[in-house]
Each structure stands twice: as structure tokens, then as C-alpha cells.
Amino acid sequence: MGKVISFANQKGGIGKTTSAINISSAIGSMGRRVLLVDMDPQGNTTSGVGINKKNMRNSIYDMLIGRCTAAEAVVKTEFAGLSIIPANISLAGAEFELVSLDGRENRLRDALSLIQDEYDFIFIDCPPSLGILTINALTASDGVIIPMQCEYFALEGLSQLTYTIKQIKRLYNPRLELVGILVTMYNARLNLTLQVMDELKKYYSDKLFSTTVVRNVRLSEAPSYGQPILYYDKFSKGSKAYMDVAIEVLERI
């Protein structure tokens, strides 16, 4: 049965979707069967792997409200070992519709359980909030990866997120664990970056990924071409960093 891992952070613009796409594609390139689940109504993960958000037969929204099965929502990408359950703006309505449904916290878990054996890993890109969609993702997951920038507010938000993870573990999903904290958009020339890193090492040393992802132009360009960085520019610093992180993810899980 495939391991289910969520990428979560309630703060937007910190490299969460970039990390989900590039770690998933890197692990897929190693011969693993990987399913990427887009749980963000913006659908950036979907377009980031070359899927047209306007021409989808089924989406994660249809799956969550019971209009289709998980198998019917899966789309194969052109990248090795990687499939996706795509999302578009219709998912925004699920926030309201799920509230009135029975077992609303378990909708994603129940749907994915029917196809979980078909994959080695299922990676979920959560929305930048701690609402019902993120709760569904964490309830369905074995572990969580937290991408974050080296900024003061990101550090403050980390405490809130780790508290939420503990609450989900207590209330809905006793197997949920923090896989690791991934520092993104790293800039060693900034004093604040070094100060935040010191704080992270002080309180989360055992959870920090040894690889940090530095700011990289090619990494920023890749989504506009609908390609993970491994396929857009295999020899870039961003590609090497995410390949190293992917190897570390395999070691941790």
C-alpha cells in the first residue's frame, strides 16, 4: 500500500507547490509509481505538470463530492512514473459543500483507499489554509512535509501548523507524523535567513531536511512551461536540490 504524504503550510508563496511537483517527479523518475493530488483550488500543481485546467473530464472536486471515483479522476502526465488527480477553481466550492456531508473529514481518505495499492507514493499538495480541504489531506496522510521560507512570520506560522498536526493526529488520524521541514527560497546572504535557520536547528533539528532549496531562476521558470525542473533543466541547481531532497524523503519514509 502506497505511503500518503501531504505538503502543507498555511502561508502561501513559500514553495509548497513547487516542492510537491518536483519531489513527486523526481521520485517518479527513480522508477516509483507516484500519484500527485492537487487539493488547491488555484490548480497550480495541475498546470505545473502540463495539464490544462479547462479541459478536464473529472477533477478532485468531482471525486470529493462523489461524482466520480478516484480512478476516474486520475490523469497520466507525460513524465516518468507520475500521474495526477487534477484541480481547478471548482474546488473552491467544496469548502462549503463538504461541511454538510457525512464523514466530511474522511472524504479524501476513503476515495484514495480504493487506488492506494496502485502507487508507491501519493503526494498531496494542500491549499494555503487550515480549512476542511487541508484537514481532509492530513486525515488521509501517513506524514507531512512542511516547506517554509526563512522568515520571521514563517517561523511563527510553523508553531501553529505543528499544533494543527497534533490536533489532527489526536482527533482523526493517529498514524500522522511530521516527515520533515524543508527550507525553500534559501538565501545565505541575508542575516534573517541565518537567524531563522539557527532557530529551526534549535527546536526542530531532527526534522530539518539536510538539503535547502536556494532561490533559482530556472526553478521559477519551469511551471510556466508545465514541466518539473528535472525535465525543464536537468542540470540546474534547483533540479539537483530537489533530487537530493527526494532521496532524503525516500530515506525518511
Residue 194, C-alpha cell as written in the block: 541565518
Closest residue by Cα to residue 151 from 195, 114, 108: 195
**Look-up of cell digits 492506494:** 116
3-state secondary structure of 38: strand
pLDDT given at position 191: 74
Please give the angle made by the CA atoms of 208, 211 and 217, to the nearest 5 degrees.
125
pLDDT at 13: 78
* Whole-number percent of the chain with pLDDT over 70: 100
What does the alpha-carbon distance between residue 81 and residue 221 come to, in Å, rounded to a whole number? 23
Specify the pLDDT at position 64: 93
pLDDT of 143 reads 97
The pLDDT tens digits of the residues spanning 195-207 come to 878 878 888 888 9
**pLDDT value for 4:** 98
Distance CA 167, CA 154 (A): 20
Pick the CATH number of 3-243 from 3.30.450.40, 3.40.50.300, 3.40.1000.10, 3.40.30.10: 3.40.50.300
Residues 5 and 165: their CA atoms lie apart, in Å, by 13
Residue 71 has a CB neighbour count (10 Å cut-off) of 13
**Sites in the chain below the pLDDT cut of 70:** 188
Determine the Cα–Cα distance for residues 132 and 163; give it in Å rounded to an integer: 16
Rounded to two decimals, what is the model's pTM?
A: 0.95
Residue 1 confidence (pLDDT): 79
pLDDT on residue 160: 86
**How many alpha carbons fall within 13 Å on the CB side of residue 230?**
24
**pLDDT computed for residue 88 by the predictor:** 92
